[in-house]
Amino acid sequence: MSPSYQDLIAAAREVIPEVEPADVASRVASGDGPLIIDVRETAEWDQGHLPGAVHIPRGFLESRIGGTAPDSDQEILVSCASGQRSLLSAQTLHHMGFTNVTNLAGGFARWKQNNHPVEVPRILSAAQRSRYSRHILIPEVGEEGQMKLLDSKALLIGAGGLGSPAAYYLAAAGIGTIGLVDDDEVDESNLQRQIIHTTDRVGMNKGESAKQAIAALNPEVQVNVHPFRVNRDNVLDLVSQYDVIVDGADNFPTRYLLADASLMTKTPLVHASILRFEGHASVFNPYDGPCYRCLFPEPPPPDLAPSCGEAGVLGVLCGVMGNIQATEAIKVLLGIGDTLSGRLLIYDALGMTFTELKVRRDPDCPSCGPNADLQLRDYEAWCAGVGSHDHAGVSA
Amino acid sequence: MSTVKIPPVLRQAAGGERTVEAKGANVGEVLTALCEAHPAIGKQILTSDGELHKFVNVYVNDEDARLMQWTDTPVGDDDTLLILPAMAGGQ
């Protein structure tokens, strides 16, 4: 006769020792607990579990246990709701060669009745799980990473060529709060590249226009419109409300101002700049890698630094560079991968080449060096001053 | 001859070229040859004393020449020099 459920449970009890919740609780409290595997279904796990437990639903136990417990001699405690599924799971682990497996007597129900501490995981809603499912599938992101993004705040300087694609993709990625700093209005000549705006919003503040586009794409994102120019009076207040700065400014005074504010508030700065067919991108982590001034100690004079309005820019280039910025911002926020910190990426769309240059910390950097006297200055005057270099003869 | 990559803002001064070949055993010599061939570039990147402006970065392959031997940094035929002024555009 085939064994009944009761027979299976009885057989498992003969090989798997049970541990009382009070014993586990005291060991967990002293930091000496075993590896706890919770084999319940996701909906049960979401209601709460033992502190520090790892969730492997019973159906995935055999395939996933190796990744969690590579050592077969490791002490493992299995738990479920009442101690029955975990008992059978523990027996499975025993069959797989794990030598030190125990079962939580009475399961999570008894644990909770005895008022031992319970961890309730923060969870994504069903709608969020669906919307962000492709992120959640990536091991480096997962649910935890997605929740990090939902809690993150990104400040975009400029809702223009770089800011448009960056804001769109950061919003789609579920960055919880996006700040848009732009005092400009949407102009017809913007629409060749500033794809977050639309023809019927010409004349509207760019931040407001972008807010409408983001609301249509992902209404969950909080958009803060800052319809003014960032300056030395408002920059520190503004930047300190955010976790990362995405620099899409169109002038050097603002770029140097942001670079210094990034250092003063210790907020990472994701840089990109564009002209015609060429783009630059880098990441400046305050005091952990070079800063913008380590790379470019001084701005060039105006005739060597035309704006896109003066010299033109390929619309698509903005998409490439703005999305490189969005990518780097997400990596910075999640703390994953290798960012462009210490590297300048140069994209030449005409040659379709990506070139990388090494950027090192300048020990004499006037902004981040050990002897730097960092304070916000009149960046307009400073850029005009250092930018008024004499232009000279040929002899080198 | 080493290759000098010309940034977009200097291309007009280089006759529209994106890369220019120039002779020289070190960074200074290559830039001198470049500025002799294209005097308009010299007007943009050199001071009246013939020094490179501070706003001009020069890379030999992927390394900043300032952090090597600056204009004395040796340059071989297979090396690429990159002139890199900052760009401000973002809109």
pLDDT digits (tens, 9 = 90+) for B49-68: 888 888 899 999 999 999 99
Residue of A nearest to B41 (CA): A394
Banded model confidence at residue A390, pLDDT cuts 50, 70, 90: very low
Tens-place pLDDT, residues A45-78: 989 999 999 999 999 999 999 999 999 999 999 9
Q: DSSP string covering B30-73, please?
A: HHHHHHHH-HHHHHHHB-TTSPBPTTEEEEETTEEGGGTTGGG-
Contacts with B88 from chain A: Cβ below 8 Å: 249-252, 255, 273, 299, 305, 307
- pLDDT at position A393, please? 30
Banded model confidence at residue A385, pLDDT cuts 50, 70, 90: confident
- pLDDT at position B88, please? 87
Q: Do the strands B80-85 and B56-60 form a parallel or antiparallel pair, or are they unpaired?
A: antiparallel
Buried (b) or exposed (e) across A166-201, using 16+ Cβ within 10 A?
A: bbbbbbbbbbbbbbbbbebbbeeebbebbbbbeeeb
What CA–CA distance (Å, rounded) separates A278 from B4?
16
Buried (b) or exposed (e) across B11-33, using 16+ Cβ within 10 A?
A: eebbeeeeebebebebbbbbbbb
Alpha helix stretches (DSSP H) within chain A: 5-15, 21-29, 42-45, 61-68, 85-95, 107-113, 126-131, 133-136, 142-150, 163-172, 206-217, 235-239, 252-265, 292-295, 308-311, 315-334, 379-387
- pLDDT at position A123, please? 86
Tens-place pLDDT, residues A298-308: 898 887 888 88
pLDDT for residue B71 is more than 50? yes
Mean pLDDT to the nearest integer, A326-337: 98
pTM exceeding the 0.90 threshold for the entire prediction: no
Tens-place pLDDT, residues A154-167: 999 999 999 999 99
Tens-place pLDDT, residues A168-199: 999 999 999 999 999 999 999 999 999 999 99
Which of A202, A155, A153 lies closest to A182, judged by CA? A155
Q: DSSP string covering A320-340, please?
A: HHHHHHHHHHHHHHHT-S--S
- pLDDT at position A394, please? 28
Residue of B nearest to A292 (CA): B86
DSSP 3-state of A194? coil
Q: How many CA atoms lie within 13 A of A319 on its CB side?
A: 9
Contacts with A299 from chain B: Cβ below 8 Å: 55, 86, 88
What CA–CA distance (Å, rounded) separates A295 from A293?
5
CA A248: distance to chain centroid? Answer: 18
pLDDT for residue A386 is more than 80? no
Banded model confidence at residue B14, pLDDT cuts 50, 70, 90: very high
- pLDDT at position A391, please? 40
What CA–CA distance (Å, rounded) separates B74 from A119?
63
Specify whether A308 is catalytic. yes
What CA–CA distance (Å, rounded) separates A65 from A119?
21
Inter-chain residue contact B32 with A396, CB threshold 8 Å: yes
- pLDDT at position A210, please? 98
Inter-chain residue contact A355 with B36, CB threshold 8 Å: no
Residues 106-145 on A with a CB inside 8 Å of B are none
Eight-class DSSP state of B18: S
Tens-place pLDDT, residues B15-60: 999 999 999 999 999 999 999 999 999 999 998 888 888 889 999 9
Mean pLDDT to the nearest integer, A306-333: 94
Inter-chain residue contact B42 with A297, CB threshold 8 Å: no
As a whole-number percent, the residues of chain A with pLDDT over 90 amount to 89
Write down the mean pLDDT value for chain A: 94
- pLDDT at position A388, please? 58
Tens-place pLDDT, residues A192-238: 999 999 999 999 999 999 999 999 999 999 999 999 999 999 999 99
Inter-chain residue contact B91 with A356, CB threshold 8 Å: no
A140 with A336: CB under 8 angstroms? yes
Q: How far is CA A316 from CA A50, A191, A201, A346, B69, in A?
A: 51, 11, 21, 15, 38
What amino acid occupies position A320?
V
Instruction: Give the domains, in start order, of chain B with CATH numbers.
Output: 2-85 (3.10.20.30)
